[in-house]
Amino acid sequence: MTASPELGTFQLASPDLLRSTFRRHAAGVAVITARGASGPVGFTATSLTSVSADPPLVSFGIGTGASSWPAVAETEHVGIHILGEHQSDLAATFARSGADRFGAPTVWREGPNGVPVLDDVLAWLVCRIVGRVPAGEHRIVLAEVVLGDSTGAGRPLLYHQGRFNRLRD
């Protein structure tokens, strides 16, 4: 198969090309939490991926310059929370640099293995980190599911074109 001459304009690989391409990719929204040396930490992630069902493994990316990275780099366990469409404010709080992510109105409790667990999410998992793989200025964290709850009600929050969105039928 050969390329069509009507390919139109294209760009060489760059950070801008990657960002603009993935703005077109709708992704589910999760919040990753961990227990840090000075308290709970967390961040919004759209890079959450199911890796394997047996054993149950997930992955997510985190920048090494992120405020949560030192805790994620050292901890054994993380919490993974799938957000519902009613939680765009929570997603924005955990995405905002310098925000008091665990202050009111965020409702959370200490869960198994000391992991902060957020209330009212669609699903949450506590996972044991089994690997941190260098990937540019990020790390891909591989984590094995230890336990969780997938019984929350509602529909998922999505991230698309730089905004949090609701799923449409």
51-108 pLDDT per residue, tens: 999 999 999 999 999 999 999 999 999 999 999 999 999 999 999 999 999 999 999 9
pLDDT in the model for residue 10: 86
Residue partners of 87: CB distance under 8 A and separation at least 6: 29, 120, 121, 157
Mean pLDDT of 150-158: 96
CA dist., res. 45 & res. 159, Å (int): 10
pLDDT in the model for residue 159: 95
Single-letter residue type at 1 = M
31-52 pLDDT per residue, tens: 999 999 999 999 999 999 999 9
CA dist., res. 163 & res. 89, Å (int): 11
Q: Residue 101's CB: how many other CB atoms inside 10 A?
A: 23
H helices present in the chain, as ranges? 15-23, 69-74, 88-95
Q: Is the pLDDT of residue 119 over 70?
A: yes
DSSP strands (E only) in 49-107: 49-53, 56-63, 77-82
pLDDT in the model for residue 11: 86
Q: Is the pLDDT of residue 113 over 60?
A: yes
